[in-house]
Structure 1
Amino acid sequence: MARDKTKKRRTRDDGDSGNPSKKSKTEIPTPTTTITLPTIPTNGPGAAPTSLQPADIKSAFAAFSQGLSTLLSPSVSVETLTATLGLEKANFILALHSMKSSGDLSFLPTTDTATDIDTTWPPPLPPIRNPDLLSQIFTHISSIRGEHASLPGVEKSHYERLEFLGDAYLQSISSALLYRRFPEYREGPLSEMRQLLVSNKPLSELARAYGFPERLRTNMSEDRNKIKIVADCFEAYIGAVVLDAEGGPDVGYKTARDWLERLFEPKIREMAVERAKVSPVDKMAKQSLNALAGGSMAQLTYTWTGGGGGNHGGYWITVTINGWGFKDRVIGKGWGANKSDAELRAAMNALADTALVEEIAAIKLKTLGPRPPPKEKTKAKV
C-alpha cells in the first residue's frame, strides 16, 4: 500500500515538472527590480535532479544576494515589509538588516536604485531662512547679560520659546510615526519606544551629529557639553523649521516631519529588531524568582544601576543574590521605562538563565534534601 502511495505522489510531481504550461524559471518581485533565478536542470521526467554545477550555484547565489540586498534597502520601510510579508517574515528581514548593519553580510551588493535616498546619514538640515530665528535657536539665555535679560521682548532673543514649540511638534511627529509603523503594539510599548527617540540623551546625540554645540552662544562654555542644553537646542530647531516655512506652519510641519522620519529611521529599525526578540513582561517573574532562589536562607536585592529614569533613558535594574553560598552575585539585569517593569525584566532574565536555575536547584537539594511528596487528601466520612 505504501508503495502505491509513493508511486502516485511521484507521478503527480513528475506531471507538474513536465507541464509545458509552467514557467521554467522563478521570478522574485522586489520593490524596484525583478530578479530571475536560474533553471535547475533535471534528467527528464521521472528522474532525480542532477547536482547543481558550480556555475549554477554562483548564479543562484548572485540572484539571492541581489534580492536580499533590495529587501534590506533603506527605501523598504518596516511598515511595507509587515503589510506585504506579514509580521513573522518582516521580523526575519529586520534581523538580517541588523546583521548587515553589524557588517556580517558584507558580501551583499550595494543597491543603486533611485529609491535609495538614505545613502547618507544624518539627512541634511532643513534650512532656516529667517536670520532672527536662526540666531534665536542657538542663543542660550545666559548669554543675555545683566539688566537686558529682563527687558520686554527678550524672550525672542533666546531659544526657550522655540524649544517649547519644537518639543510639542516632536512629540506629535514621533507619536504618529510609531503609531503607523507598529500597528500591533499597545500604548505602553509605543511610549517606551518614543522615549528612546525623544529623550534628552538621544536628542543631544542628534544635535552633536549636526554640530549644534559649536554654534551655541552661551556665557559658560561648559554648557556645550550639557546634554539637556544641547537637546533643547535641537527642539528649538524643530520649532523654527515649522515657523520658517514659506507656505506657513502646515508646510513647515510637513518639512519637519519628513526630516525627522528620515533622521529616526535607523533607530526605528533597530528598535523593531530588538522588539521582535522581547517577550511581554511577566508580572509574576519576581515571585517566581523568589520561590526559586529567595526565602529565609537567601536574599534578592534589586538595584537601580543605569539609565536616567523616566524620559531620561528609563531604568536599568540589577538583581543580586546573597545566600545559598553566593555573595552579591549578579544574576539578572533588565531595562524598563519604569522601575517596576525593569525589576520584572531583571527577574525574567535571571529565570531564563538555565545554568543558574540548575545551580541553585542543586544547592537547595543538597542543603535541604528532597522535598517530601504532597500528602494525599483524605475523603471526609459521611
Structure 2
Amino acid sequence: MGEKRRNSESGPAETKKSKSSEDGVVYSEQDAEKLIKQVDKLQKTLQKIIKVAPTVEVFQKTIQSRKKMDLALLENPKSELGVEIRDIYEKGGSAILSRILGQETAVRQEVSSISAPSVRYTPSSILKPLMTVEYRGKSWPPLIPEIKDGMLFKRVFTHRSMLLGDTGTASEVHKTATKAGYDQTGNFSYERLEFVGDSIVNNILTKIIYDVFPGDDQSHLSFLRGQVIANIVLCRWAAIYGFPSKLRVASSVLSPEQLHILTVSILSPRTLGADANMWLVKYTFPGGYAAEYEKWYKSLEVKPKIDEALCGRKIVADLFEAYVAGVYLSYGADGEAVLTKWVYELAQPLLDAIRQEGGSISSMAEQQHGMKKPFDGTAKNRLYILIGSASLAPVYNVVNEEKYPDGSVMHTVTCSMGTEILGTGKGKNLVEAGARAAMAALDNTPAMDKFSGLRTSQADKLRKRFK
C-alpha cells in the first residue's frame, strides 16, 4: 500500500516536471489531442451552420415579410452571423473558413482544374438528359460526351443476348459466342468495354475523392469510393441520360416495357428497396430534382408503377461503365481529361451532400449503420458483469457481412441471451461490431431488467444452497 501511495504522490510532480522546460512552455501530447477534438467540433458546427443558415436573399425576404416568424429571432446577432458565414462560404471569400471546413485553398484549385480542365468535348447528339435541374448556377446533369465511332456506340448498347437473337438459349450462347463476347457475324456485346470502363471509373473517382476530401484518412476514402461507385449510383447516372431506352437486348431478358419501368423506377426519388446502398438514392441527385421528376413522370404516355426491386439495374450500371470506356477510346490522349470533367460535374451533388453531412465519410457511415454513439471498447465486459453468469452468458454471432467494391467489409453482429437477441451492432471489423452489439444491449432497458433480475435470482439460489 505504501508503495502505491508513493507512486501516486509522485505522479503530479512528474507531470509538472514533464510540462516544464527552460522557457516554461511545452506543447504536450494531451494538449494536441484536446486541440484536435476541439477543431473537429468546430468543423462539425460550421458545417451544420452552413447547412441550416438561409442565403442572404432568403433571409432578407423573410425579414421583409415579417409574417413567418418572430422578428426578434431574425434580428438576433447570432442569426445574422450565421447568414454571413454561409454567404462567405458560398462566395469562397475566406481561406481560413475553407481550411476549417476541410477544403484548403490548394485543394480548391485542384478541384477547380478537375471540374474545368482545358480540354473540350463534343456533347452527344443522341443522348440527352431526360430532365435537368439548376445546380451551382449550371444545368445538371452536364451534357454527356459523344462517342465518335458509330460502331463503338452500337457496341456499348448491345447486350450479349442480341448475339443470338430472341431464340437463343443458354446452351447456344456457349456454342456460337466466344469468350470475347461476339458472334460469328462479328457483332460485339458491351462486356469487354464494361471491363475497361470499370477500371477507368474507379481510377477517376479515386483521384476526385482524394482531392475533394483532404481531411479523410485512407480507410474513410476507401469506404467513400466504395459508396460512390456503387451500382445504384452508376445506374442512376446512366438512367438520367436515357441509357435503358438505347439498349439492344433480347425481349426474353428485358422487354421494352420492362426497360421503361426500369428507367422510371431507377430515377424515382422515392425508390428505397432493400439494397445496402439504397440510402444513396437521396444524395445522388441535387435538390429540386424530385419536383422535376414529378413533371417528367406526368408527361409520360405510359406511367408505370415503380418497381422497387429494380430488376435489371446491374445491366444499366454496366452500360455506364461501357459508355465510359467508349468515350475513353474515342478521345485518345484526351480521354481521361474529358471523362474527369464530365464525371466530376456528374458526381458533384453527391460529393457536396457528403461534405454537408459532416465533411467526412465517417459521418455517412455512422448515418447508414447507426454508429453515432462513441465507440465503447468495454461494453462487452460491462454487459457480462450486469447480466452474465457461468450458466448463461451473452453470445455474439456474425449475421451479415456487406462487401464493398473496394474490398472493405461492414460486419453485422448480434448479441443474444439464449434465444433472445438483445442488440445488433455494425462495424468495420468484428471487434467493433461485437462491442456495438453489446452497447445496443446495454441500451435495451426491458432486456437488461429481465436478465439482470434473472441473474440476481440465480445468485440468491446459490447463496441459500451453500448456507
Cα displacement (A) at 1:206: 3.8
Note the 1:164-313 alignment, pairs <5 A. 164-219=195-250, 220-222=252-254, 225-245=311-331, 248-262=334-348, 264-265=350-351, 268-269=354-355, 270=357, 271=361, 273-274=363-364, 278=372, 286=380, 289-290=383-384, 292-295=386-389, 296-304=391-399, 309-311=403-405
- Report if the CA contact (8 A) 1:332-1:346 is conserved: yes
Q: Secondary structure at the match of 1:221?
A: coil
Cα displacement (A) at 1:169: 1.9
- Report if the CA contact (8 A) 1:241-1:255 is conserved: no
Match of 1:319 among 391, 414, 418: 414
Match of 1:138 among 157, 168, 189: 157
Aligned equivalent of 2:191: 160
- Report if the CA contact (8 A) 1:316-1:333 is conserved: no
Q: CA separation in 2, counterparts of 1:345 and 1:248?
A: 48
Change (3 A) 1:231 1:57: closer
Q: Does 1:333 align with 2:424?
A: yes
Cα displacement (A) at 1:67: 3.8
> TM-score, length-normalised on structure 1?
0.57
**Which residue identity lines up with residue 329 of structure 2 in the other structure?**
L
- Report if the CA contact (8 A) 1:143-1:217 is conserved: yes
Cα displacement (A) at 1:346: 3.1
Aligned equivalent of 1:14: none
**Which residue identity lines up with residue 459 of structure 2 in the other structure?**
L
- Report if the CA contact (8 A) 1:314-1:335 is conserved: no
Cα displacement (A) at 1:173: 2.4
Cα displacement (A) at 1:171: 1.7
Q: CA separation in 2, counterparts of 1:250 and 1:335?
A: 37
> Structure 2: which 5+ runs fail to align?
1-49, 61-69, 104-133, 165-172, 260-310
Cα displacement (A) at 1:198: 1.6
**Which residue identity lines up with residue 309 of structure 1 in the other structure?**
K
Change (3 A) 1:361 1:229: same
Q: Does 1:83 align with 2:111?
A: no
Change (3 A) 1:151 1:116: closer
Aligned equivalent of 1:110: none
> Structure 1: which 5+ runs fail to align?
1-29, 39-53, 88-113, 373-382
Change (3 A) 1:309 1:142: same
Q: Secondary structure at the match of 1:207?
A: helix
Aligned equivalent of 1:23: none
Change (3 A) 1:203 1:353: farther
Q: Secondary structure at the match of 2:147?
A: coil
- Report if the CA contact (8 A) 2:387-2:393 is conserved: yes
Superposition misfits of 4+ residues, deviation over 6 angstroms: none
Match of 2:177 among 149, 157, 161: 149
- Report if the CA contact (8 A) 2:425-2:434 is conserved: yes
Q: Secondary structure at the match of 2:437?
A: helix
**Which residue identity lines up with residue 245 of structure 1 in the other structure?**
Y
Identity over aligned residues, as a percent? 26
Cα displacement (A) at 1:260: 4.4
Cα displacement (A) at 1:200: 3.0
Aligned equivalent of 1:116: 136
Higher relative contact order (CA 8 A, sep 6+): 2
Count of aligned residue pairs for this structure pair: 290
Cα displacement (A) at 1:369: 5.0
Q: CA separation in 2, counterparts of 1:34 and 1:56?
A: 17
Q: CA separation in 2, counterparts of 1:293 and 1:123?
A: 58
Q: Secondary structure at the match of 1:217?
A: coil
Q: CA separation in 2, counterparts of 1:257 and 1:132?
A: 23
Change (3 A) 1:84 1:167: same
Change (3 A) 1:204 1:369: farther
Q: CA separation in 1, counterparts of 2:235 and 2:408?
A: 12
- Report if the CA contact (8 A) 2:200-2:325 is conserved: yes
Q: CA separation in 1, counterparts of 2:148 and 2:381?
A: 59
Note the 1:98-117 alignment, pairs <5 A. 116-117=136-137
Aligned equivalent of 1:94: none
Q: CA separation in 2, counterparts of 1:118 and 1:341?
A: 43
Q: Residue by residue, what CA displacement relative to the aligned partner does 1:74-117 show, whole Å, maximum 9, x if unpaired?
A: x87xx996613579xxxxxxxxxxxxxxxxxxxxxxxxxx9824
Cα displacement (A) at 1:170: 1.9
- Report if the CA contact (8 A) 1:242-1:255 is conserved: no
Cα displacement (A) at 1:235: 1.6
Q: Computing the radius of gyration over CA atoms, which structure comes out larger, 1 or 2?
A: 1
Q: Residue by residue, what CA displacement relative to the aligned partner does 1:267-313 show, whole Å, maximum 9, x if unpaired?
A: 534446435774676666556545554443145242525x7534399
- Report if the CA contact (8 A) 1:319-1:332 is conserved: yes
Aligned equivalent of 1:7: none
> TM-score, length-normalised on structure 2?
0.48
Q: Secondary structure at the match of 1:183?
A: coil
**Which residue identity lines up with residue 140 of structure 1 in the other structure?**
H
Aligned equivalent of 1:377: none
